[in-house]
Amino acid sequence: MRALAFDVFGTVVDWRSSIIAELQSFGARNGLQRDWASFADAWRAGYAPAMDRVRRGELPWTRIDDLHRTILVDLLGGAAVAEADIDELNRAWHRLVPWPDSVAGLQRLKQRFVITTLSNGNVSLLTNMAKSAGLPWDCVISAELFGHYKPDPEAYLGCARLLDVAPHELMLVACHPSDLRAARDSGLRTGYVRRPLEQGPGGPLPEVEDGEFDVIAHDFIDLARRLGA
């Protein structure tokens, strides 16, 4: 195995806590009161159906930044907020905070493997996030480069092609079994990392079958140890 490709939202960064904190601050600045945790969950929940519209061809290729903004405007429901403030809030997804083990684990894994993003987030989002969070990627690969969102096979195979490795020399690391299953169907290896807090305390845990993935780890440090890095 030569390279590791990481899902980002949920796997590397704690989108939920980050977005709730940004929403609370946005609410205070704009005099808006909402249940910001539910708002964050609804914002995130709008993302998969919006991508699916792109995947089915009902929408032309649209960046996550633009999908996020459409969902956000809809959730704000006509509240009087300046366009610039909406743009600034939408860029909260560029500023998500990593899980406590992410940076140290990536630094260790980077000693042995090429490490890249393989996210549905657009290149500028991933680049800005790496800068603000100190994520030490060797390169930034996004569904945007292929015009295909995960779980389309073009994303997994395109990542292997850009890195010039065979699919079986590349491992997808993710906390979402559906992403890993699609990567496996394209011939990639799979590393499942549990992120029990992704949906908040007490949130549901995905169901995974024994032996379904090549490696199961409880964080990136554990993943590094299991991969001999």
In the structure encoding, which two tokens stand for residue 133, read together? 């969070």
- Verify binding: residue 139, a copy of itself, rule CB under 8 A: yes
- Verify binding: residue 130, a copy of itself, rule CB under 8 A: yes
Distance between CA atoms of residues 27 and 165, nearest Å? 46
Residue reference for tokens 């964080």: 219
Considering only residues 51 through 70, tell me which ones interact with a copy of itself, judged by CB under 8 A: 65
Rounded least distance, CB 160 to a copy of itself, Å: 10
Rounded least distance, CB 63 to a copy of itself, Å: 8
- CB distance 220 to 110 below 8 Å: no
Options 104, 162, 208, 216; binder of a copy of itself; rule CB under 8 A: 162
120 vs 122, which CB is nearer to a copy of itself? 122
Q: For residue 104, with 0-12 CB atoms within 10 Å meaning exposed, 13-18 middle and 19 or more buried, which class applies?
A: middle
- Verify binding: residue 190, a copy of itself, rule CB under 8 A: no
- Verify binding: residue 163, a copy of itself, rule CB under 8 A: yes
Alpha-carbon Rg for the chain in angstroms: 17
Distance between CA atoms of residues 157 and 166, nearest Å? 9
Q: Judge if the upstream peptide bond of residue 100 is cis by omega within 30 degrees of 0.
A: no
- Verify binding: residue 12, a copy of itself, rule CB under 8 A: no
Options 11, 18, 122, 186; binder of a copy of itself; rule CB under 8 A: 122
- Verify binding: residue 145, a copy of itself, rule CB under 8 A: yes
Options 128, 153, 169, 187; binder of a copy of itself; rule CB under 8 A: 128
96 vs 180, which CB is nearer to a copy of itself? 96
Q: Which stretch binds a copy of itself (CB under 8 A): 44-52, 160-168, 193-201, 209-217?
A: 160-168
Q: Which stretch binds a copy of itself (CB under 8 A): 51-59, 76-84, 120-128, 188-196?
A: 120-128
Rounded least distance, CB 117 to a copy of itself, Å: 9
Tell me how crowded residue 40 is: count the other CB atoms within 10 A of its CB.
24
- CB distance 136 to 107 below 8 Å: yes
Alpha helices in 111-195 (DSSP H): 123-133, 153-163, 177-185
**Torsion angle of the four alpha carbons 206, 215, 101, 228, in this order, in degrees rounded to the nearest 10:** 180
Rounded least distance, CB 3 to a copy of itself, Å: 9
